[in-house]
Each structure stands twice: as C-alpha cells, then as structure tokens.
Amino acid sequence: MSFLSWMRVCLLAGIILMTMACGNNSGPSGQTEKNESMIEQVQKRGVLRVGMSTFVPWAMKDKTGKFIGFEIDVAKRLAKDTGVNVEFIPTKWSGIIPALITGKFDIIIGGMGIIPSRNLKVNFSIPYDYTGMSIVANKTLAAGFNRLEDFNRSDVVIAARLGSTAVTALKKYMPKARLRLFDDESEAYQELVNGRVHAVVASAPTPAFQALKYPAKLFLPLDKTFTREPIGFAVKKGDFDSMNYLDNWIRYVEAEGFLRDRKHYWFRTKNWEKLVK
C-alpha cells in the first residue's frame, strides 16, 4: 500500500470514529444534553425550579400556604419572561449550594450574598439587589450596648442562621463572641426573645422588623447596617449562556423599575403583613 493510500485509510477511519462518537452522545436534536444551557433545559421542561429558603420578607408563606416575598416576586417574573412556570423548592440554607450542584433545582434565588468562597463553587449573576448585616439585641441582656465592640466579648452569645453571610460578618467584627447557629432563622429570634442569647445578626431589614414586633424585649443597638453585600442569582459553574441571559434580564427589569418597586413594597412598607397574619 502506498503512503498516500495509507493516509486516506487513516483519514476515513478518523471520520467514522468521530461520527460514531457524535451519534452516541447526541440527543434527538443532535446537540448533547451536557452542552445545553440551564435556560434551554428549563424551556424544554416548561418549569424553572428555584431553590430558596424561607426568611421574612424575602420568602415566606401566606395564610393560604402560598409562597410570597421579594425573592418570590423576582423568581415569578423571571419565569414569566422566560415563558415557563415556576416551582419553588424550599431547602435548608446550609445545604442549598450542594443541592444546586447535584441538580435538585436550576437556580438559587434566595437573597444569596456574592462572596468569594461561594463563587468558587457556583457562578453568580450580576447583583440584582444589595443588603447589609444588622443586629437586634435583647433589652435585658444587652442593656447599654450601642457599638459593635460591646458585643465583641467572650461572655456574649450571638445567634445567626447557619451558612449565612451573617456568620462571616460575626467572625470578622465580633470574633470574641460565642456563636449559636440555627438552620431556621426564626429559631434564632425565638431564642433572643426568650433571653437565651444577647443578639441576632441577620440581613436587614428583618432585625428591625423583630424589634418592632417585640418592642418590650428587643431593640436595635445600631442605627444602620454594618456591612454592604451584593446579592445575585446562583447557577452551576460553566453555564455562560444562562449567565448572559440572567445578567441581561436583571439589567432589563432594573431599568424598567420592577426591582425598585418590589424592594420598596417588601422592605419599606408593611402592607404585606395582612397576607401572613
């Protein structure tokens, strides 16, 4: 066999092998499922599965058992604009990123702060909101406390939600305080009201709401937040088409005023309280 004939045989064999590989990995459309973006899969399925955790006023249940809140409004609008329905999947905050990675849902829309340690595990959209850490304290245990330094003592016990950026803030600003961590933020506030912890650190404005709810027992030692955090959608790593879609969707609804209006309703008014009481 001549060298030219041998080259032709090798080339033909390579083409056959490549064709077989593509045929084995392709779906009906000829595109691998692995290469489909999350948004494409959602459109085919007809449902956007949203991972979230309940905490007021981001996400909570109304008197009929339906989810309401700022994040719920955002997720519903995203699903509507994508042309699909939405399914909410409540998940403990401490396990919400692993649940996303293993495919329990498509996206996290839950007031998640964009921080480096999380960004190593998931991709974040551009910020669609900003929040900050606030502190609410027990009037008896924390009497006279009006600075962060007052809480940075070994005899002070502070509660926070497990896996939240409140824990990061506590370790940075009040490293000497003892921490008590809860999967459910409502449990932390119950411990505070019962006088078992000095304070709770959480995203504003929830601490302020708790101080208003229990004025005889709780107070706000600081008149403003002590951190500023960008909030973004989280999706699996490597899905750049979905990231492009989410980033531009955020820009669109932000320019429209939707995010501003929803933020005002849920964080600047109490008109929604009649829905949950």
What CA–CA distance (Å, rounded) separates 135 from 114? 20
What CA–CA distance (Å, rounded) separates 250 from 172? 31
From first to last of its 277 residues, the chain has per-residue pLDDT tens of 554 454 454 444 554 445 444 444 434 333 335 688 999 999 999 999 999 998 888 999 999 999 999 999 999 999 999 999 999 999 998 899 999 999 999 999 999 999 999 999 999 999 999 989 999 999 999 999 999 999 999 999 999 998 888 999 999 999 999 999 998 888 999 999 999 999 999 988 889 889 988 999 999 999 889 999 999 999 999 999 999 999 999 999 999 999 999 999 998 888 898 998 7
- Please indicate whether the domains covering 38-130+230-276 and 133-219 agree at the CATH topology level: yes
Residue 127: its pLDDT value, please? 97
- C-alpha 219 chain-centroid distance: 27
Class of domain 133-219 as given by CATH: alpha beta
Q: How far is CA 108 from CA 1, 171, 239, 250, in A?
A: 61, 25, 14, 15
Fold of 38-130+230-276: D-Maltodextrin-Binding Protein; domain 2 (3.40.190)
Residue 1: its pLDDT value, please? 54
What CA–CA distance (Å, rounded) separates 131 from 186? 19
What CA–CA distance (Å, rounded) separates 105 from 113? 19
b/e per residue, 244-264, with b = 16+ CB within 10 A? ebbbebbeebeeeeebeebbe
Residue 9: its pLDDT value, please? 47
Residue 96: its pLDDT value, please? 95
Residue 213: its pLDDT value, please? 87
What CA–CA distance (Å, rounded) separates 64 from 76? 18
| DSSP structural state of residue 221 | S
Residue 122: its pLDDT value, please? 96
Q: List the chain domain ranges.
A: 38-130+230-276, 133-219
Residue 24: its pLDDT value, please? 45
Q: What sign does the dihedral 195-196-199-205 (CA atoms) show?
A: negative
Place of tokens 């959608």: 233
